[in-house]
Amino acid sequence: MHVRLALVLTLATAFIGLYAAQDFLWQRGRPPANFFEQVVWALTFFWIFPVLPSLLACVGMLLHRPPRETPLLPMPIPVCFRVVSRGQNAAVLRETVLNVREQMSRLRLFPYRIEVVTDIPVELAISDDLVRLVVPTDFRPSRGTRFKARALEYARCQSNLPTNAWILHLDEESRITPSLIAGVRTAVLEEEESGRFRIGQGTILYHRNLRRNPILTLADSLRTGDDLGRFHLQQRLGVTLFGLHGSFILVRNSVELESTFDVGPAGSITEDAWWALVQMEHGRRCRWVDGYVVEQSPETIRDFIKQRRRWYVGLVKCVLHAPTRLRYRLPLGLTLFLWSVSWIGVLAMYLDLIAGQSTLPVVRVAGNFSFAAYITSYVFGLKMNLDNLRPRPWLLRPLRLPLYALQIALIPFFSIVEALGVIYGLLSPDSGFHIINKPGRSDAVTPHAWVHVRAAAAVACLLTGVIVASHLPPTSPLAQAVVHLPSVTGFASTQRSPSLPTSVAPVTLPEQSTGNRMQAAMTAAGFQGGVTLYVDSAGGGQQDLAWSAQNLFQRLAGLGANSVGVAFPVFMAGVAASTVYTDPQQTPTTGTLSTIIDAAHRQHLAVMLRPILDEQTLMDPQGDWRGTIRPADARHWFASYGALLRQYAQIARADQVEVVDVGTELNSMQGDAAAWRNLIADVRAVYPGQVTYSVNFDFQQLGFADALDFLGIDAYYPLNVPEGASVKQLESAWLTWISDLNRLGAMAGRPAVITELGVRSEPGAHLKPWVWYTRAVPDMGEQQRYYEASCSAVSQAVAGIYWWLVTLDSPYADALHDTSYDPLGKPAEESIKACFSRWLPPLTTRRRG
């Protein structure tokens, strides 16, 4: 019971640990931002495929019980240990024969004999318990069977074993254990009593070379875990759903004589699986045999990969050509299909490491469960190997914990090597039978351990570098160095990621500029991290405007911002008016704007100038707003609005403003693309910088988007989660809208920048972020959680964010009792700092003035 409890705890710990690791590495996970990441996102669906075999493996491990240690009486039924080998590893064969004799002398529970079947003669000491069978070179089975199957068929035909004897098939390096002897005795007696004569198989351990070859020995812990999981379950069910191993097959001689190993060339690569399928077709069933056989892992990574390649290619041939009904081949075919695509899931996992993208919750659960079961199979397999390891002075109990830690740490390396075996089989389906080198104890061997340690360390360093690189801000020096590599530049020119746009950069400043050259370079490098200042007074509403602006922008720069939007109102006399005008009291003057722009540049903040059509004279009970204006004379309206924009374009040119926003949320006017193109052309005629337009989040089409440098989006998306929702819930709610953000950018064919994002600091503000006129009790946590979740959700889907909004009075003295959008002086201010610190480098250049 304690083993099962440990198994459940391991599985649960791995499952929860994967979530914790993912949340630690990527506090948000982000949606795919370009075509390449869309492909990676689609590939993550391959994580769902291993769920069924993982579930079966967990069930099998939970049902497994260690062999019982009870006194047993000898039985009269003979057992033959049949060892098949090509004969090239003579020393290993001699050790195997010696091992059988030693173990049987200690626990003689049945009469036995050893049969050694080889292709070439091997010098073995003559003994009554040993029969040597050498396959003649001219032995040709009728179906052209080759390799090990040919030797098995020869032994089947030539052995003089009685029909009631049982045969335990072993490989040349197999070592039997007392538990195996007891398990064979129990299984034989049960089958003789029932008359069913089922085919038996049990667990194979791989701890023999743990000291000399620890890395690949640990890699084969998965095979032991698989025996205790999937293979144990199939033996309990009595049907070989996943085939049989070529070693540790217990079969009655009468059953073997009724069958054949003449399986033809197609079945000669994995003759064990082919033979098992045929036995199922003939009505034979299988069973579990308690006890352990100990074998040896491959000595080199090359042998490891070639071994997996041989298994894969051989099983494909079994599924395609075995002479059985489809229902017997289908489970193995499904398993083989999952194995065939497993490397895609591994590839997706490592590609996703680079970006830390979000996945669908069901995919994440499935992937984490499958990987947790994968980890558990390794750990459970290692436990069984260590529990059955002979006491050795160098392997003390305190070393168990480091071995478990090493086992888990190397799983990424093992998964790559396992995947390479499949890929090798797909690319080079060699029909040969690769024999791996398995030296004996007396052989002089190269100490491979450090070779494998170096290989594993190289993979670990690569993965660490990938993770570190994925956490660098796009504007970091290292990220920029990579972007400018020749091999990267060509790719980047065709795959412009929204997180690293090339067209979003403000125009290079003229030589006479003294304010913001460094900040312009920062914005050119990548992410626009800004806050919008709203100025609704001709003089800025401050006695000392320059001092107020300086204090505000110093505070924003301290948060890590590299940009600021300067928004101000212009007016219409009603929704049907055809003239746009400035108000002498509420629209800032040219001097006011210049003072504010200069103060921003002194703090190295790039400036976006935003005249916004004010809604004071537009809103009415019918629900009109700036997005529903309907001028009586649209042509006159464009002429009036264009004249106003040209004035601000001239101010922008004089003050070296980086971006001019030519319109905000004018939904009803966006359909006249020709008029907007003319308006934008007039602005560009007097202003050399960047031009954008801010659409409302619900727009569908913008016919003049190609005339812009980037698309602005006022992202007041409703997040449909309850009041008081957590950051995680808000992030999940954002996922609904990320595809819409991607759609807007793709439709425009331009990078997308969120020009307005924010909520009021009041309960449930995330449900209707656009509502600015409510009166409710303050809720600082609502605003803070929204800012944190929004940054996590959208930062890498767009080329910039401008939080809405602050004023020259910010922060207010009673900020913690204020319910407005203004985040300064509130907990949300720290969320802004955390957001910008992730995407923007610190300002290290000394500020002017």
**525 and 414, same structural domain?**
no
Q: What is the mean pLDDT of residues 246-260?
A: 95
The three-state DSSP-derived secondary structure of 655-712 is: CCCCEEEEEECCHHHCCCHHHHHHHHHHHHHHCCCEEEEEEECCCCCCCCHHHCCEEE
**202 and 77, same structural domain?**
yes
The separation between CA 352 and the C-alpha centre of its own chain, rounded to angstroms, equals 4
Task: Specify the CATH number for the domain of residue 756.
Answer: 3.20.20.80
Of the candidates 41, 51, 46, the one whose C-alpha atom is nearest the C-alpha of residue 15 is 51
335's tokens: 């398993």
pLDDT digits (tens, 9 = 90+) for 575-604: 999 999 999 999 999 999 999 999 999 999
**789 and 660, same structural domain?**
yes
Tokens 């125009």, residue? 507
Measure the CA–CA gap between 232 and 187, rounded to whole angstroms.
15
pLDDT digits (tens, 9 = 90+) for 462-482: 555 554 554 444 434 444 444
- Residue that terminates a domain, selected from 386, 405, 427: 427
Q: What is the mean pLDDT of residues 222-229?
A: 95
**422 and 503, same structural domain?**
no
**664 and 523, same structural domain?**
yes
Cross-strand pairs, 134: 118
Residue 11 included in any domain: no
H-type helices in 703-779, by residue range?
727-748
- Please state the domain count of the chain: 2
Burial class (CB in 10 A: 0-12, 13-18, 19+), 231: buried
pLDDT digits (tens, 9 = 90+) for 57-104: 999 999 998 777 777 899 999 999 999 999 888 899 999 999 999 999
Range in 60-74, 86-100, 108-122, 825-839 with the lowest mean pLDDT:
60-74
pLDDT at 593 (0 to 100): 96
- Residue that terminates a domain, selected from 427, 442, 471: 427
107's tokens: 């626990």
pLDDT at 522 (0 to 100): 32
Q: What is the mean pLDDT of residues 444-470?
A: 50
**503 and 407, same structural domain?**
no
Question: Mapping DSSP to helix (H, G, I), strand (E, B) and coil, where does residue 757 land?
Answer: strand
DSSP 2-50: HHHHHHHHHHHHHHHHHHHHHHHH-SS-B---SHHHHHHHHHGGGGGTT
Residue 109 included in any domain: yes
Task: Specify the CATH number for the domain of residue 265.
Answer: 3.90.550.10
Residue 358 has pLDDT above 90, yes or no: no
Eight-class DSSP state of 765 = G
Residue 483 included in any domain: no
pLDDT at 105 (0 to 100): 94
Length of the chain: 849
Average pLDDT across the chain, whole number: 84
More confident residue, 271 or 449: 271
Question: Mapping DSSP to helix (H, G, I), strand (E, B) and coil, where does residue 581 land?
Answer: strand
Q: 713 pLDDT band (50/70/90 cuts)? A: very high
Q: 175-176 and 286-294: which strand pairing? A: antiparallel
**502 and 423, same structural domain?**
no
Residue 116 included in any domain: yes
- Per cent of the chain over pLDDT 70 is 83
Cβ atoms within 10 Å, residue 471: 12
More confident residue, 466 or 711: 711
Q: 508 pLDDT band (50/70/90 cuts)? A: very low
Eight-class DSSP state of 626 = G
Residue 809 included in any domain: yes
More confident residue, 20 or 533: 533
Tokens 């197999």, residue? 174
Q: 166-170 and 249-252: which strand pairing? A: antiparallel
**365 and 243, same structural domain?**
yes
Residue 571 included in any domain: yes
pLDDT digits (tens, 9 = 90+) for 151-205: 999 999 999 999 999 999 999 999 999 999 999 999 999 999 999 999 999 999 9
Residue 568 included in any domain: yes
**509 and 388, same structural domain?**
no
* pTM of the full structure: 0.59
E strands, 253-407, are: 286-294
Measure the CA–CA gap between 585 and 587, rounded to whole angstroms.
6
Range in 59-63, 357-361, 552-556, 698-702 with the lowest mean pLDDT:
357-361
Angle between helices 301-321 and 326-355 (to 10 degrees): 140
More confident residue, 347 or 710: 710
Dihedral over Cα of 11, 422, 362, 58: its sign: negative
Radius of gyration for the alpha carbons in the chain, expressed in angstroms and rounded: 37
Q: What is the mean pLDDT of residues 697-718?
A: 91
Q: What is the mean pLDDT of residues 355-375?
A: 86
Q: What is the mean pLDDT of residues 227-238?
A: 94
Q: What is the mean pLDDT of residues 445-453?
A: 47
Measure the CA–CA gap between 102 and 100, rounded to whole angstroms.
6
In sequence order, the 6+-apart residues with CB closer than 8 A to the CB of 629 are 572, 575, 576, 577, 613, 618, 666, 668, 669
- Residue that terminates a domain, selected from 377, 407, 427: 427
Torsions phi, psi of 560, nearest 5?
A: 100, 5
Q: 231 pLDDT band (50/70/90 cuts)? A: very high
DSSP 814-825: TGGG--SS--TT
The answer to whether residues 208 and 296 touch, using CB atoms and an 8 Å cutoff, is yes
Residue 845 has pLDDT above 70, yes or no: no
pLDDT at 236 (0 to 100): 94
In sequence order, the 6+-apart residues with CB closer than 8 A to the CB of 14 are 371, 372, 373, 375, 376
Q: What DSSP element (H or E) covers 530?
A: strand 528-534
Q: What is the mean pLDDT of residues 400-428?
A: 89
708's tokens: 């812009």
**381 and 502, same structural domain?**
no
Measure the CA–CA gap between 566 and 530, rounded to whole angstroms.
10
**498 and 423, same structural domain?**
no
**422 and 499, same structural domain?**
no
Residue 543 has pLDDT above 80, yes or no: no
Residue 482 included in any domain: no
DSSP 200-265: EEEEEE--TTTTTSHHHHHHTHHHHHHIIIIIHHHHHHTS-TT---SSSEEEEHHHHHHS----TT
Question: 270 is in which domain, residue-wise?
Answer: 22-427
Eight-class DSSP state of 627 = G
Residue 26 has pLDDT above 80, yes or no: no
Of the candidates 367, 306, 316, 310, the one whose C-alpha atom is nearest the C-alpha of residue 337 is 316
Question: Mapping DSSP to helix (H, G, I), strand (E, B) and coil, where does residue 641 land?
Answer: helix
pLDDT at 448 (0 to 100): 47
Where b means 16+ CB within 10 Å and e means fewer, 239-252 reads ebbbbbbbbbbbbb
The answer to whether residues 252 and 284 touch, using CB atoms and an 8 Å cutoff, is no
Eight-class DSSP state of 435 = P
